[in-house]
Amino acid sequence: MNNVFEISNITKSFKNKQILKGVDLVVNKGDIIGLLGLNGEGKSTLIKIILGILSQDYGEVKRNFDIKSDVGVMLQEISMPEKM
């Protein structure tokens, strides 16, 4: 299996607002992907579902990776506490 992860028909809502609807994505070993969109369109939510931090309402996630050694996430803005 070359897939790092595969998501099928992912749906997620918060307080009656649907954030993700029917999202499908396959990422193979060596792929580099980017998620683009406006604020509140579900990019961070999708990443959290892929990583297993948040559960989807509907759909399937197949993971074939070690979160600690195989995954890197780069956010647009760094938000670190001032005292760090």
Domain boundaries, given as residue ranges, for the chain: 3-70
Q: Is pLDDT above 80 for 1?
A: no
Amino acid making up residue 39: N
How would residue 29 be classed by pLDDT, with cut points 50, 70 and 90? confident
For residue 80, the model assigns a pLDDT of: 55
For residue 77, the model assigns a pLDDT of: 63
Distance (Å, whole) CA 47 – CA 61: 12
Distance (Å, whole) CA 59 – CA 18: 14
8 strand-pairing partners: 60
Cut 0.95: pTM above it: no
Q: Is pLDDT above 90 for 83?
A: no
Superfamily name and number for 3-70: P-loop containing nucleotide triphosphate hydrolases (3.40.50.300)
Q: Is pLDDT above 80 for 37?
A: yes
Rounded mean pLDDT of 51-75? 82
